[in-house]
Structure formats: structure tokens, C-alpha cells
Chain A
Amino acid sequence: MNKIKIAILQLPGTNCEYETKRCVDALGMTGDIVRWNSSRETIESYDGYILPGGFSFQDRVRSGAIAAKLELMSILEASADQGKPILGICNGCQVLAETGLVPGANDNKIEMALTYNNDNGKRVGFICDWKYVTFKNPSASIFTKEFKDTDVLAIPINHGEGCFIFNDEYVDDVKTLGAIQYCTESGDIDESYPTNPNGSMLNIAGVANKKGNVFAMMPHPERAFFKKQFPKDLEKTLSDSKSELGPWALLLKGMKNYIESEKIKKDVG
């Protein structure tokens, strides 16, 4: 089997592409930083895609709004339909929301938005801090498949607009999707600030599409991918294994496993 190739998409204003590539490479896949205006053939040649964090197009209009209109995104939509995995982190999450790829209950129509961080409506500004999250329906997405719903993990957030809002009519659907939710150290889904640092509905920090192959998350797994990236007071949340990889490596492990199994299917087919 050929080495798995992941495109880490660089939009004007993307700023987390290098550390994201490092994570992809660390799992034995090949991460290429691929510019937004690359040819369709180039983009289509990849097995999976990551939209990393940043401030694409200067957050003009709304975070992610301009990027969602690029030709690149229509290529990704088609790839998602074919079952290729797509992960959006932070600004990448905002871009996926603006394209309607997640939660995707209704033919990629826009069903959710990300608004400013708030505590009961009061703006709390840009937040850079470590938070705890837990997993909901982990088996419903290829990205969360390797986790258990009892897992409580620390992860950094770093955004000004990370409050998930869903149309009321989709809320019940969202509850069935693979998702991560902000929680306390002991795993309680406490809806109040600062456990829920941005006021998200259902404490959502990340959510998959219905099919499970697209995942959009505001926290930064690439900054909690290696054990050494954790502050000392959070080391207690790490496993005792000798591996240098931290808990969030499983997110990309899920992506890798999925691509491998799809490839085997194809090879067999």
C-alpha cells in the first residue's frame, strides 16, 4: 500500500500548518502543505485533508466566510461525498461550518454558526487556555472512534469566536453525532463559564457530520499531540506509557485507520 498522503491546506492567513504537518508525519503519513490556489488535480490527489487553524482571509465578513466560497471548498465537498476524511481545526472548523459540511444533516446547507466567546451573552474576548473535553458518540465519527465516552482529556483552546450555535430544528440531530464537549476535570458537562469557555450550545467543542468522515473542532489537538506539550499540572491526565505521543494522537490515528481500511477495500475491490 502506498504511503497515505494528507493535504494540509494553506489559505491566506492560515498559521498552524507546520505543527499540524508534524503531527501527520509523526504517525507515518505524509503531510504536504498545499496552497489554496493549487490545481484541482493536485488537491484531488490526496487521501485526506486538514484545514488548520489561523485567520483565513483576515476573518473578513465572518471567520471562515470568504474561504467557504473558494473553489477549493467545492473540491473538498465532492471529496467528502466520496468518503474522504476532512478535519477542520479552529479556523478550519469555522470554514467547515460556513460551507455546511458539518453537521450536514441537510445536504450541506449551513446549519450552524460560530459566534463570539461569551458568558451568558457577555463577551469574554479571545481566550488562550487549556480546557477539558469529553466524548459523545465517539464511534459515530472516524476521528473520535479511537476514544471512549468516558475519556476526559485536556486540550488547548485559542479563539475569539468558538461558540457553537445550531438551528433549533437540528439540535436533536446533533445529539446523535460524534462530538466533543467541554467538561469539568471530572467529566461533568457543566454548561457554565469557564468550564464551557465560549457559551457553546450543548457544550460542543467539536462535531462530526452525519457520515462521520468530516470533523470540525475549535480546540487544537496539534498542540496536545505530544506529551511534552502539556503543562506540568496537566501531566496527570497523560498515560504512563513510554510513547512520546499524547492522547490526541488518537484523533489522527482514527483518520489513518479509516484511510487504510478504505484502501484495502479498494485494493480488494
Chain B
Amino acid sequence: MNLSQKEIIEVKQILGTDPSIVELQIFDTMWSEHCSYKSSKRVLKQLPVTGKNVALGIGEDSGIIRFTKKDGKSYCLAVSHESHNHPSQILPVEGAATGVGGVVRDVYCMGADVIGVLNSLHFGDQINGPSIVKDIKDRVILGVSDYANPLGVPVLGGETVYHPSYNENCLVNVAAIGLVEESEIIHSYAPKCAGTEPYDVILIGKSTDASGFGGASFSSQTLDQDDDSSNLGAVQLHDPFMKRVVVEAMKQLFKEIRENKIEVGYKDLGAGGIACAASEIAASGGFGVDIDLSKVLCGIEGLGPEVISCSETQERFCMVVPRDFSQRCCDIFNKDFDMGRFYPNAGASVVGHVTNNPFFRLFHKGEVVGNIPITAITTDVSVIRESKPKEMVVTELSESLSKEQIKENLKKSLKHPNNCSKKPVYRHFDQGVRGDTVMYPGEGDAVIVTPIEGCDVGVVTSIDSNLYGEHDPYISGAYAVAEGIRNVISAGGLPLAVTDCLNYGNPENPHVFHQFEEGIRGIKDACFNLNPDSKEEPLPIIAGNVSFYNESKTGSEVVPSPVILVVGKIEDSSKGMRAKVDSDGQTLILIGKRYSEFGGTQIGDSRPELGNVPPQVRYDDERLQNTWVAKEIESSLISSCHDISMGGLWLALVEMAMGRNGNADVGMKLNFGSECDLGTTLFSENGGYVVSVSNDNKQRALDSLKDLGVDFEVLGHTTRETVMELAQCGDLFYKENMEELASHWN
């Protein structure tokens, strides 16, 4: 239990009596940071959440953005983005798997079909950290694949980031994207007519057990407050097989609902289980609800009412339907799909009904076990947190890297877990199920799928974060948005919307809360300044999640880790842009100026002489670069394109040579000018791009760059001989076989 003494007194005042154990559980869940956003709500208000293409903004289980029109139908993308950090630290397989399971439920319950998931995984130091961090990494990856693969949704990308601050608190963020026709969106509240005709509450899916009891409250405290064994029970258990069957049955259900024009409310069961879902579905429609816990189909006997009402058994949904449709609804799950035949008591059952009384009443074996004014559940709980910046001394670059240091770092940096090929991670994830994948992970900066049959319009998406927040929490937010936008543009797409998952330490620490506020400010500024579609309207944020209390056992917080998903579209998916350069004689051009800003970068981490200013986001410059790249991909001037981010220009070049398969078809012969600081040029992580253009297109590319006023530099060209050659003013200082580089990077 995580309620404070002050909150318990408030509960007593609301109820006018001592709360029952069921009531206490419900308040503990509903008022947890996880469910109530009590610290963060005030800050989140400054984010842009509306826009001309937003079909459904923040407030229900997913946000929905309009995607494209075909045959008179308006297709939309429903997106949800969540964290599952604490469960994954305690039980990595189950924690990561239910992270996927939870986020896809948010999308399915809107009537959408999930077309893909993305993940952002942050692990501890694999080289010097304790051995458990490796184990957690392996098991989290197994957990993601254990869920997404059987469910039959492709993993459309992701990132793995390593840093010692995650040694005792890994981060597992997952986002899901679904496709839904605008006219077929299903809402997560009881419809108006539930006030005038009888509406039943039906519970659907896996039979209820005790798993995940207390999960929401567990995610709203630091991990060291309880011993591990009591935390274990709070982790939910995954069953993607069951989910697949439930989802197939739901498709049938939704089809009949649409055909018969039946008004329903549909919601997934996540944190807080039945208590949370049933009360919210009724309350947000303006109704009360009666639930008889004895009617809940349970997987085991003898569960107490507080467990039945609040356990977080996975693979469940709840719906409100007109009573005359209840029987047919249950039959779909129990007869047509015969769910009880392969899992004890799985299926659908009527567990209560919507009322016009403003109370959430719970019954068990004929007795009232909870009676809560419905307003108490929808009450805005909030706490004011103190905010104070961490004291930091800003240092600038004092000594450039020598040629020897540079040469030493070239190969070494490719081996680092943050920089090396991520194929050993994503090869475990099904990337092609549904058959819609047209640009696979590793081919370009984003993944492209074409989810609408007979339509070439593609969804382009990427998920990103960085390690700059330790030095400047504003930059971590702004850069993550800028990078996501860059990735979508680099793949040939245009961004439509953003979602955020905000991972921070304990908000009760003033400097942590300040990091959070600054991260939000950065995200907001980037959304306002980097929307390629409009200078006036920001890119909208359509979904998000806040995860606090991510810290080590000794109380030091994780690097501020706002994780950003950008979803975009490409009109003609056959124009999807790849990163790999596969022919010789291509000219390589660097887009975007390099600055000596090394705070939080891969090379800056261990070299104080490089200063601690992280890579700044220069909105006007980035906007211009984005405009040029988008335009010249569209005009087919560019042959391949890769963005610059973690690892800098050097890593970008190596990745362009290696491609999806990790073997180079060509070499690169590069020559830098006399005025450039080599260390800065090769390793700085300022945003930018590397593009390759054919000889025929070279002059046109250079002219159009000059016309637009974009900062660029011709780096050199690709060669038939598979060798990497680096020179300054014609003076060769590094030469290495691509095969040798590949052996380090792969």
C-alpha cells in the first residue's frame, strides 16, 4: 500500500466512514502516481496536444491521428506508448512481455488493429556493470519477443541504450500503433443511451487470478522500499496466445456491433484491474456502476474481493453493452471461439450493470464490499512538487583530440554496445508478420509498413532517446524529438504526430522534478519549431506516459530519459529511402555543421577535456536541413540517406557502408578540409545527415544546398575497393579494410 497518511484521511472524509479493504485498494490504485499523474499533470499541460489531423487527443486509451484516405474512408493511426520499468527489473521476461501486452491492449480497445510495436530498451553498463545487467538485457529481449511474436504483431523498430545509471533500474518502453477507420473508433466510456436503457458490464478474456495484485502502486515508488519477494507478486503474467484469440474474437464482435449499429463502451484492463476499468468506463460517461465480484470468472478458487477487484490479470477487457446484446456478446467468446476449452474459465461473462446512481458499488456473495462516490474516482488528485536545478559547472572544450586519440577511437567506438549493430537484438523479433513490412529494421532510419490493402501509403516510424539529460535535461527532450523527426524524414516520410514516455527519478527530489520540467519544455519547443508541415502549428503529441521513481538502490536517479516516438507517412512507400550505399562513385555529403559539444556523447563520456556542453538543437538550422532532405528525397536526387546522432558522423558513415546485412559492398575515400577539427567532425553528435548522390546528380545537389542556405561539406566518394580511407588536406591518416570494421561493428 502506497497511500500517504494524509491521503487516507482524505479517503475517510470522502466516504464518511472507514474504508473497507476493497475501497482502500481502489484508492491506492486510483490515486497512485501511475494512474493519477498527480505530480506531472500540471507540467504536461504545456504540451501541444491538438492539431488539424488529431482525430482523438489525449484522454482515452490511445491517441488517434488521421493517416490517409482511400475509397472514401478516412484511415487513422491509434498510438499508445507506455513504460514497464519496475516489473522488468524484478522479473525481466514477464515484465517486458506484459509491457508489450499492456500497450497493445490500449490500441485494440479503440477498435483498431495493431500493425506494429516499437521498443526503447535502456540497460546498465554491459562492460563494467554487475553481471545481472547482462542477464536483465537478455531476458527483457526474450520477453519482448515472447509477447510480440506469438501475438503476431511485427516489431517495427526500437533502440537499445546502455548507461551505468540503469544498472539497478532498467527502462522498458513500448509503443503500439494500430489502424482504424475514423468512423469505426470505439470509445472507452459508456454511451449516452446507457442512461435510458439497461446496459450490462461484461468482462472478457483470461479468467481472473491474483497476478499483478498491487501493480500500479508498486510502479509508483522506488524499488528498494519493499523486499523483492513482495514485489514479485505485483508483476503481471503474460499470455500472448490468449490475447491473439481474444483479439480475433473481438474482431467478430466489433463487426457485429458495427453492422447492428450498437453503441458500446470498451476498455482494456490494465493497472487497477476491474476496479479501475469498470469505474472509469462508467464515470467518464457520467454514470455509476454496480459490479458483482461473485460473477467474475476466476482461474482459481477462493480469491478475496479485494484481489478480484484489483488484481492485474492480463489479457482482459471490459465492455458496456445494451442488455439485449449481452448474450450474443458472450457467445462469441464462449461458443464461437470456445475459449473455455483451452484455458480454464476463460471467456466472457456479465459482471454488473451501469446505473444512474453516482456510486461505484461492489458486491461479493450478496454483500456490499465497496461503495464509493463516483466523483472520488474522477477527482483530480494533485500534488505540488518542489523544483530546483541541480548545481552544475559548465565546461567548454579545452583540448582537441589528437590524431592518435582519434585513430584509437575509430575502431574501438564501433564495438561499444551503444554503437555496434543492433541486429543481435532485433533478429529475435518478428519484423515481417502481417506481410506489410516494406522497409525492414536496419535498412534505413525508420521502418515502413503499408497496412491498408491495395494502398501504397506507408506508415514511417521511429523511437528515440539519448543520454544528454545528465548535462542538460532540456536538450534530452528537444533532441529526442528532433532525432525522431530526422529519422522519419531520412526514410522518406513526413512526421504526423509524436508520443512521449517520460522516465525520471523520484519526483519528490526537487532536482529530479526540475529535470522533468525541463524535459517537457524541450519536447514542447521542438514540437513547435520542427514541424515540417507548418510553421504555425506544432506537431501534436497524441499519447504519452510518465514513469517516476526510476533510481538505484542508493537513491541516484537514472539519466533523464524522455523517449519519443514519431509516426509519419510516406505517400509512395516504394520511395522509402535506405541508408546503405551500395555502388561506387557516389559522392558523400555531410549536411549540418559540427560543433565541439561533447557532453553526454559517446566519446565525451570519459574525457573531461572535451567539456560537458551536450549537442545543442539549433531549430532554424535543423528545420532547413529537414526541408532540403525531404525535398530531394522526393525529387529522387538522393541515392541514400542516414541521420547523424549517437556516435556522430563516423558511426553514420560506417552504418551506411554496412547496411542491414552488416557487410560493405563499397569502400569510402574521404578528405576533410584544413579548417576542420577532426575530432569534432567525426564524433560530435549534433543533428545532421549524410547523403549520397550519384555523379549525375552531384552538381544539382550542391546547387540546391547553396540555394537553400544549408550548411554542408562534400566528404568524398565511394570506391569499388572495400576500404575506408580518411585524409585531411590529402594527407591520409587512416586506412582500414571494411571487413575489419565490419568485424568490430557486427
Residues of A within 8 A of B (CB): 10, 12-16, 18-19, 22-23, 35, 37, 53-55, 57-58, 125-129, 156, 158, 220, 222-223, 225-226, 228-229, 231-233
Contact = CB atoms under 8 A, between A and B. Distances in A.
A228 B432 contact: no
Contacts of A126: 145, 149, 428
B435 A223 contact: yes
A19 B660 CA distance: 24
Most chain A CB atoms below 10 A, which of B435, B443, B450: B435
Interface in B191-249: 239-242, 244-245, 248
Contacts of B430: 128, 158
Given A222-B435, A228-B574, A233 B659 contact: yes
B150 A156 contact: no
B440 interface: yes
Interface string B432-458: 111111111001000000100100000
A90 B443 CA distance: 25
Given A12-B241, A158-B433, A220-B432, A229 B438 contact: yes
Contacts of B429: 128
Given A54-B152, A126-B428, A128-B427, A228 B245 contact: no
Contacts of A14: 244
A233 B336 contact: no
A232 B580 contact: yes
A185 to B, nearest CB: 10
Given A158-B432, A223-B432, A231 B440 contact: yes
Contacts of A53: 433
Interface string B510-545: 000000000000000000000000000000000000
A233 B580 contact: yes
Contacts of B248: 10
6 contacts: A54-B244, A126-B145, A223-B437, A229-B432, A229-B435, A233-B661
Nearest to A10: B248
Contact of B435 (A37, A57, A127, A225): A225
Contacts of A57: 241, 342
A226 to B, nearest CB: 8
B346 to A, nearest CB: 10
A16 B152 contact: yes
A13 B150 contact: yes
Nearest to B576: A232
A15 B661 contact: no
A172 B277 CA distance: 60
B578 interface: yes
A232 B659 CA distance: 10
Nearest to A58: B241
B208 to A, nearest CB: 19
Contact of B244 (A13, A18, A128, A233): A13
Given A128-B428, A233-B661, A15 B574 contact: no
Interface string B411-430: 00000000000000011111
A12 B435 contact: no
B510 to A, nearest CB: 45
A53 B432 CA distance: 12
A228 B573 contact: yes
B490 interface: no
A87 B507 CA distance: 57
Contacts of A18: 434-435
B150 A58 contact: yes
B551 interface: no
A231 B660 contact: yes
A38 to B, nearest CB: 10
A228 B570 CA distance: 14
B660 A233 contact: yes
Nearest to A127: B427
A22 B681 CA distance: 49
Most chain B beta carbons < 10 A, residue from A22, A57, A232: A232
Contacts of B239: 58
B49 interface: no
A241 B248 CA distance: 37
A55 B245 CA distance: 11
Contacts of A232: 439, 443, 578, 580
B338 interface: yes
Contact of B431 (A23, A55, A128, A228): A128
Of the candidates B149, B429, B431, B573, the one having the most CB atoms from chain A within 10 angstroms of its own CB is B149
A10 B245 CA distance: 10
Contacts of A15: 150-152, 244, 433
Nearest 6 A/B pairs, CB to CB: A15-B152, A19-B435, A58-B241, A55-B150, A223-B432, A13-B241
B33 interface: no
Interface string B123-153: 0000000000000000000100100011110
Interface string B238-281: 01111011001000000000000000000000000000000000
A95 B736 CA distance: 50
